[in-house]
Structure 1
């Protein structure tokens, strides 16, 4: 098996991390049912994007996550990582005609890839997430304070006082470590296929995350409604219940009817898929 994170970081290791991150984005896309989100089945609550838009975006990001991993291994600071990320974001927007498919994933999954490159001694998901916080947390927070409402996340933060992707990353992805990955692992141990385990993880994220996309589109009422639906789903057994898939599809349709889209949760699902695959590819000793 390829040494994913060797002490002497190699181009091969960077390529492997890049492939795992791209695969995580693909798994997030094809995962279904996802409430309100784009999949291969439908466009969810979106009129400006579909699965083909996401495929084009993922293709445009080829090499980005490997570059972030190499930069992380070289000890790059957040400013240097941000330059790489901005260039990748520009490629994404060019490929999608200006549609924001993966801006959040460029940020969050990019940082996870950088931390994977930097984490040469400890390869667990927890250690990788801790590396994001330890190495770049203060600068991530400082950059967020300068946003001044220029992004949806900053506007939501100003209006509702809700944390966003920057706060989640700066804290070492606590929603992923404390909620999504445990739900994913539980489902896998229970025999769920990858798709169903990701659905379980997504509903778990939606149930706890102050999702900026939900707040931006529908305010506090939409966020609370989405969280209640997710909690009810999980409380009834989630995807592992006999009617789990049918109930997830029903909730997806309810999200679409109300134009709700938990885009922040989707980004964290991609991080969850990536970290799970890193651990599977190179389990800690």
Structure 2
């Protein structure tokens, strides 16, 4: 890996972090209902991808997350992390036939894996506070500079284009702020729902809705403009205000929101990426709840469980 060497403990920890990242992304794609987004039930607002597209993407990315965790443990520069991410993105696009399934996760979850690798190198526990601190202390300056340059440069992606046009907070801005939406909104919502006794599935829906209610999701704006973003935020916010997954008919309500998003072709992919990161932190944090994936994954069709096992072990 770029001439870097690691002891056995560091390699084992990096593999653990990488496998957890794959499981978190699988937890996200297997979730249903998930308004506007692809699941194993349907294609959401998309005509060019389905659940199998995401499985191919996960298979292509399975080696990336341990590699970037190893680079993080070594304290590599942000340029090295960025190079690993670009290589992983290229593998993803080959596997999906050019379809962007996990670009946001390659960036965001990749940075979290790198931060966790650095925590292990410093013998520090993997907690939200430590993750944010080590991210900023190791790569914060580079992330801030990257966000500044991106705001001023000619856009190279749809997300950058709409972020510039409407003055929205991009994924790069979120990273430069040590993932404030993830740690201030999504993760607390997920862990609170689990503490209430909600199932893994319900807790993830609660966290996703809480995220959609506040996130400047450039994926949504690209498809539906600012009007679409406000519709997503208000729909999700109303669901949370009415009691979220503690309502007896929460499943029907969430599926109705899904239908409305599909009708408007709205797809909050940014929120889905943040949810996957929250699942990853919840599994690995010392304060984790009992296996946040077990209840829902165990009830999935056996072929999908087999697919996840193949992705993790290949």
Q: TM-score, normalised by structure 2?
A: 0.85
Shift, 1:127, TM fit: 1.6
Alpha-carbon deviation of 1:140?
1.9
- Determine the structure 2 residue equivalent to 1:251: 257
Structure 1 spans left out of the alignment, 5+ residues? 1-6
How far apart in 1 are the matches of 2:154 and 2:8?
Answer: 40
Find 2:142's aligned residue among 129, 139, 153. Answer: 139
Name the counterpart of 2:277: 271
Q: Are the aligned partners of 1:48 and 1:99 in contact in 2 as well (CA < 8 Å)?
A: yes
Rounded to whole Å, the distance in 2 between the matches of 1:26 and 1:155 is 29
Once residues 288 and 196 of structure 2 are traced to their aligned partners in structure 1, the CA distance between those partners, rounded to angstroms, is 22
Using the alignment, how far apart are the partners of 2:90 and 2:37 within structure 1? 23
Give the stretch that moved more between structures: 272-281 or 50-59: 272-281
CA–CA separation in structure 2 for the residues paired with 1:134 and 1:162: 25
The offset of 1:122, in angstroms, is 3.0
Determine helix, strand or coil for the equivalent of 2:213.
helix
**Conserved 8 A contact 2:282-2:288:** no
Residue 282 to residue 70, structure 1, CA distance change in 2 (3 Å): farther
**Equivalent-residue separation in structure 1 for 2:118 and 2:128 (angstroms):** 13
- 1:9 positional shift: 4.6
Alpha-carbon contact 1:74-1:118 (below 8 Å) kept: yes
SS in 2 for 1:10: helix
Residues 46-85 of structure 1 aligned to structure 2 (within 5 Å)? 46-85=46-85
CA deviation profile, 1:53-94 (whole Å, cap 9, x unmatched): 000000000111111111000001110100111110010000
CA drift at 1:135:
1.7
Aligned: 1:236 with 2:221: no
Residue 280 (structure 1) shift: 5.1
Partner of residue 114, structure 2: 114
> What are the superposed Cα offsets for residues 7-46 of structure 1, whole Å, 9 maximum, x if unpaired?
9852111111110000000000011111100001001000
Q: Distance in 1 between matches of 2:211 and 2:137?
A: 23
Task: Give 5+ residue unaligned stretches, structure 2.
Answer: 1-6, 290-314
Q: TM-score, normalised by structure 1?
A: 0.93
Cα deviation, 1:124-162, whole Å, max 9, x if unaligned, reads: 023213322332122123224145211112101221010
Does 2:197 align with 1:194? no
Following TM superposition, by how much is the alpha carbon of 1:282 offset from its aligned partner in structure 2, in angstroms? 7.7
**Equivalents in 2 of 1:215, 1:113: separation in Å?**
28
1:3 is matched with none
CA distance in 2, matches of 1:36, 1:272: 19
Q: Which moved more, 1:126-135 or 1:57-66?
A: 126-135
> Is the 8 Å Cα contact of residues 78 and 136 (structure 1) preserved in structure 2?
yes
Equivalence for 2:170: 164
* 1:228 shift after superposition: 0.5
Corresponding position of 2:22:
22
Q: Secondary structure at the match of 2:194?
A: helix
Q: Which runs of 4 or more aligned residues in structure 1 lie more than 4 Å from their structure 2 counterparts after TM superposition? A: 280-283
Correspondence for 1:4: none
Which of 137, 143, 152 is 2:158 aligned to?
Answer: 152
8 Å contact 1:45–1:260 — kept in the other structure? yes
